[in-house]
Amino acid sequence: MRAAPSLNADIAATVRTGDILHVMDHVGSWLKINRDGNEVWLADWVNYSRVDQATSQTETTAEIDNCCFVDRECATDHQWVDGYWAYQNGHCATETSSQPMTPTTSETSLIDNCCFAGWLCRTDQEWQNGYFAYQYNQCGQGAPTGFVSSCCQSGWNCSTELDQWLGDKVIKEGFECDQPKQVAYGRTVIDGSETFIRQINASLEYLKARVPHWYAYIVNGVRKIRGGPWGPGTFALQDSLNIAPPHAREATIVLAGTLLHEACHVNRIMEGSFFTTSGYDTVEGFSVEENICEVLREGALTEANPRRPINPWLEAALAHYFNNGGQFDFQAAANGQRDRAFWLLSQGI
């Protein structure tokens, strides 16, 4: 049961099979319930027992809005949905079809779910998909069964290219869509679990306290930091970052370095830097772009903590590049991004 009539609301309480609930009101698709003196909400498409049909019709006529109270036995959520629309259209005398009936114009103001507008939904997950699809005007994009092809149709706030790419991939890979929370941090939105948000916040606060220009480099340069729902990788896509759970669990300073490295790619994309915008389709392009952002990461963390040792991997990578004839000035490129960090700091945090 939720603290408010929304799937985005916090879970306020749970109930066990057999518990009796005091229903105070019905708003849209939500039941308002008095639970130990507190007001909580239960979605009306979940499994629960209805009013005993032995109740006097004289006493309950004003409250009847479903043929299941009138002329039929309803045992499933689907049958209760059919019964509701049958009552609205005056069809209680006959059994309804297996498809929920399309609501009339006068009833559309009560609809908040694609499952009331053509989708055939039988499970809690399908009803949840239908709810979020309705919020984003995507009722026509789901199959009649309520199946969705992207997490963007199932509650994600898909405002970036990264959101769209991940939302599609999660479904294709056979994973379930999580329901992340969102907080604003500077000009950046952090999107993920409460644990993920705390981990990112800790690393950002570390940078803000020690090297505020590098903090600004992230929160004024990156549009969204998303907690990846699966997989080991971190990466940047256009103006957003994906940070997978294993990396988010690293020590605060290590995670700060990961954020700086990926924010480097984002800022260079925004600048139109050559190697980033031309892609990683060559060994040269890959080596240069990764080494620039790794030099930036190491320099920024050394500013934050001058006593930390340089990562030996970076020294080996640079030596390999130069020993094979490379001539790119990585430090100059990193210094250019440092100048950008101070400019972003000047924009306010």
> Which CA distances in Å does 309 have to 20, 84, 298?
62, 68, 9
Q: Which of 178, 193, 213 is the last residue of a domain?
A: 178
Question: In the predicted model, is pLDDT for residue 195 greater than 80?
Answer: yes
Which of 149, 178, 207 terminates a domain? The answer is: 178
Do residues 198 and 210 share a domain? yes
Question: What CA dihedral angle connects 103, 109, 112 and 113, to 10 degrees?
Answer: 10
Look at residue 74 and tell me if it is in a domain.
Answer: no
Cross-strand partners of 227: 243
Q: Which of 177, 138, 170 is nearest to 156 (CA)?
A: 177
Q: Mean pLDDT lowest for which of 95-99, 109-113, 171-175, 281-285? A: 95-99
How confident is residue 146, by pLDDT bands cut at 50, 70 and 90?
low
Could you give the number of structural domains in the chain?
A: 2
Q: Are strands 188-192 and 181-185 parallel, antiparallel or unpaired?
A: antiparallel
pLDDT mean over 212-230: 90
Query: What does the pLDDT read at residue 273?
Result: 77
Query: What is the structure's pLDDT at 231?
Result: 67
How confident is the model at residue 294, as a pLDDT? 93
User: What would the mean pLDDT of 291-301 be, rounded to a whole number?
Assistant: 94
CB 237 within 8 A of CB 161: yes
Quick one: 323 and 192 in the same domain? yes
Q: Which residue in 303, 76, 89, 107 sits closest to 207, CA to CA?
A: 303
pLDDT at 230: 67
In a domain, 154, yes or no: yes
Residue 208 belongs to some domain of the structure: yes
Q: What rounded mean pLDDT belongs to the chain?
A: 78
Model pLDDT, residue 60: 37
Assign 58 a pLDDT band (cuts: 50, 70, 90): very low
Structure tokens at 273: 């830097």
Task: Indicate whether 155 belongs to any domain.
Answer: yes
Give me the mean pLDDT over the 225-246 stretch: 85
Kindly state whether residues 151 and 199 are assigned to the same domain: no
Task: Indicate whether 139 and 252 sit together in one domain.
Answer: no
- Is pLDDT larger for residue 64 or for residue 94? 64
Residue 73 lies in a domain: no
Q: Tell me, yes or no, whether 277 lies in a domain.
A: yes
Show which of 151, 178, 205 is a domain's final residue. 178
**Rounded mean pLDDT of 15-39?**
80
Assigned token pair, 239: 């103006």
- Do 227 and 248 have their domain in common? yes
Same domain, 134 and 238: no
Within-domain flag for 172: yes
pLDDT of 97 over the 60 cut: no
* Same domain for 254 and 308: yes
Q: Is the pLDDT of residue 130 over 80?
A: no
Instruction: Check whether residue 114 and residue 189 sit in a common domain.
Output: no
Q: Is the pLDDT of residue 141 over 90?
A: no
Indicate left, alpha or beta for 302 from its phi (over 0: left) and psi (-120 to 50: alpha).
alpha
Confidence of residue 203 (pLDDT cuts 50, 70, 90): very high
Phi and psi at 334, nearest 5°, equal -65, -40
Q: Is residue 234 part of a domain?
A: yes
Q: Does 336 lie in the same domain as 229?
A: yes
Give the best-scoring range by mean pLDDT among 42-46, 71-75, 163-167, 173-177. Answer: 163-167
Q: Are residues 229 and 245 in the same domain?
A: yes
Q: Are residues 187 and 282 in the same domain?
A: yes
Would the pLDDT of 145 be above 60? Answer: no
> What average pLDDT does range 286-306 have in this prediction?
92
Supply the range of the domain harboring residue 169.
Answer: 105-178
Average pLDDT over residues 129-148: 65
Whether 188 and 171 map to the same domain: the answer is no
Beta strands 240-243 and 181-185: pairing type? unpaired
Question: What average pLDDT does this structure show over 104-131?
Answer: 64
Token digits for 304? 């934050």
